């Protein structure tokens, strides 16, 4: 496709319905990848081409690959390799292995993916231990195929249906395990399609995703049918400095309020909770800010998921390679060593610290956000 065509399409692709605008203080910055690679198969699908067109219109260099392999040029300097990967988005076709749904306790019955990888620079990113290879953001062009696989899982899954608190949510599908789909929505349009899909699904189901990004404009006004729960991933204000390239905390909280006022079910993913100097007042401040923003929301349905910081030897190695100057606490000596159900090692806060933080945070949540339903502490 010619650049001219990309430019001509901009006006139609990026037109949004009128809606309340975020304030200048909280206006989100949108990511524009420096380069976008589109594989041969992805270029053959309308959703893949639409993503490439949006990216080109925003200023990305779009490169059409002659095969389905995504390979970046080798860099001697690991920092340069990291920067090149983080500024690259690849549009690919998700193979069957990536389309197979997985149980994802305690968040949801099933996990499905619209993308894999993230362009932000959180120094405690959970993807560091989960995804191998250069940290490119891969977005899936075969979205229709991905969504079509969901109904076969209706009524199955062991998280929501077995929980007295959550059974009314029906079968739950989590879309943010390996990516932050809202942070790339202005490029992909994938969440918009997923929200419409769930909104028109005549069954007890819920689409769930969490985000550290605040541009919710594309979602406002969509027919979500109350079958979508958007959670904002938040933390004590002093810890947001570890979350490079994400939206400011105030913007996320304002976004949550906009969504709740648009009838979405909403939630807080408080993660990763850390035991730092001043943690008690930091989390009190966070919950107070959210309480203020959500005051007066009609028919508010708010949940909270409280997730403490943990790391593995593998994730520590990757994160220290990516962020060598970070002062993030990754001291194994101050943690308890635990085995995961897969037999690998993770480091968590000692039991006494966990008990102290759990009691304090659940108390603060009840005090500042009495409407919030706590889904789990982990």
The DSSP H or E segment spanning 374 is strand 373-377
Residues 108-127, one symbol each (x = binds ligand SF4 by CB under 6 A, - = not), give: ----------x-x-x--xxx
CB 307 within 8 A of CB 271: yes
Per rule CB under 6 A, count of chain residues that contact ligand SF4: 10
In the complex, the smallest distance separating the C-beta of residue 240 from ligand SF4, rounded to whole angstroms, is: 11
Q: Based on CB atoms, which residue is closest to ligand SF4, 212 or 335?
A: 212
* Distance of alpha carbon 357 from alpha carbon 336, whole angstroms: 15
Please state the φ and ψ torsions of residue 77, each to the nearest 5 degrees. Answer: -85, 115
CA 24 to chain centre: 23
In the complex, the smallest distance separating the C-beta of residue 130 from ligand SF4, rounded to whole angstroms, is: 10
CA 289 to chain centre: 21
Q: Based on CB atoms, which residue is closest to ligand SF4, 300 or 307?
A: 307
CA 139 to chain centre: 13
Question: Binding to ligand SF4 (CB under 6 A): which residues in 197-236?
Answer: 212
Distances (CA, A) of 211 to 13, 36, 145, 179, 203: 23, 22, 24, 9, 25
The DSSP string of 250-284 is HHHHHHHHHHHHTT-EEEEEEEEE---TTHHHHHH
Q: Based on CB atoms, which residue is closest to ligand SF4, 181 or 291?
A: 181
Q: Is 246 in the site for ligand SF4 (CB under 6 A)?
A: yes
Q: Based on CB atoms, which residue is closest to ligand SF4, 120 or 297?
A: 120
Helical packing angle, 78-86 and 313-322, nearest 10°: 90
Q: Based on CB atoms, which residue is closest to ligand SF4, 93 or 127?
A: 127
Q: Based on CB atoms, which residue is closest to ligand SF4, 31 or 264?
A: 31
* Distance of alpha carbon 130 from alpha carbon 152, whole angstroms: 27
* Distance of alpha carbon 73 from alpha carbon 80, whole angstroms: 11
In the complex, the smallest distance separating the C-beta of residue 322 from ligand SF4, rounded to whole angstroms, is: 10
In the complex, the smallest distance separating the C-beta of residue 184 from ligand SF4, rounded to whole angstroms, is: 10
Q: Based on CB atoms, which residue is closest to ligand SF4, 65 or 131?
A: 131
The DSSP H or E segment spanning 286 is helix 279-294
In the complex, the smallest distance separating the C-beta of residue 145 from ligand SF4, rounded to whole angstroms, is: 24
Question: Binding to ligand SF4 (CB under 6 A): which residues in 152-191?
Answer: 180
In the complex, the smallest distance separating the C-beta of residue 123 from ligand SF4, rounded to whole angstroms, is: 9
In the complex, the smallest distance separating the C-beta of residue 343 from ligand SF4, rounded to whole angstroms, is: 25
Name the residues that contact ligand SF4, by CB under 6 A: 118, 120, 122, 125-127, 180, 212, 243, 246
């Amino acid at each position: 496709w010619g650049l001219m065509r990309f430019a001509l399409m901009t006006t139609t692709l990026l037109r949004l319905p009128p809606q309340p605008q975020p304030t200048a203080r909280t206006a989100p910055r949108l990511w524009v990848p420096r380069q976008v690679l589109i594989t041969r198969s992805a270029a053959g699908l309308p959703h893949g081409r639409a993503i490439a067109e949006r990216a080109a219109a925003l200023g990305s260099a779009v490169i059409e690959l002659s095969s389905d392999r995504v390979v970046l040029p080798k860099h001697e300097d690991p920092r340069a390799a990291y920067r090149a990967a983080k500024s690259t988005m690849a549009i690919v076709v998700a193979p069957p292995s990536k389309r197979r749904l997985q149980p994802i306790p305690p968040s949801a019955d099933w996990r499905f993916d619209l993308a894999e990888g993230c362009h932000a620079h959180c120094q405690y990113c959970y993807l560091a231990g989960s995804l191998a290879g250069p940290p490119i953001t891969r977005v899936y062009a075969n979205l229709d195929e991905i969504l079509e696989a969901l109904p076969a899982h209706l009524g199955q899954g062991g998280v929501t249906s077995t929980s007295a608190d959550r059974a009314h949510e029906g079968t739950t599908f989590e879309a943010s395990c390996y990516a932050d789909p809202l942070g790339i929505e202005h490029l992909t349009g994938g969440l918009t399609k997923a929200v419409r899909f769930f909104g028109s699904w005549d069954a007890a189901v819920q689409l769930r995703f969490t985000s550290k990004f605040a541009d919710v404009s594309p979602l406002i006004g969509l027919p979500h049918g109350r079958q979508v729960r958007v959670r904002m991933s938040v933390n004590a204000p002093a810890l947001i400095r570890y979350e490079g390239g994400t939206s400011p905390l105030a913007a996320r909280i304002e976004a949550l309020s906009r969504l709740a006022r648009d009838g979405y079910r909403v939630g807080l993913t408080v993660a990763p909770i850390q035991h730092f100097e001043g943690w008690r007042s930091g989390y009190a401040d966070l919950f107070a800010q959210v309480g203020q923003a959500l005051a007066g929301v009609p028919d508010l349905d708010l949940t909270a998921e409280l997730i403490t910081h943990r790391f593995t030897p593998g994730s520590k190695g990757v994160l220290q390679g990516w962020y060598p100057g970070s002062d993030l606490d990754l001291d194994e000596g101050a943690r308890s060593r635990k085995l995961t159900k897969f037999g690998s090692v993770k480091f968590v806060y000692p039991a006494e610290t966990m008990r102290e933080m759990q009691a304090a945070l659940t108390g603060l949540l009840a005090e500042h956000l009495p409407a919030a339903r706590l889904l789990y502490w982990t």
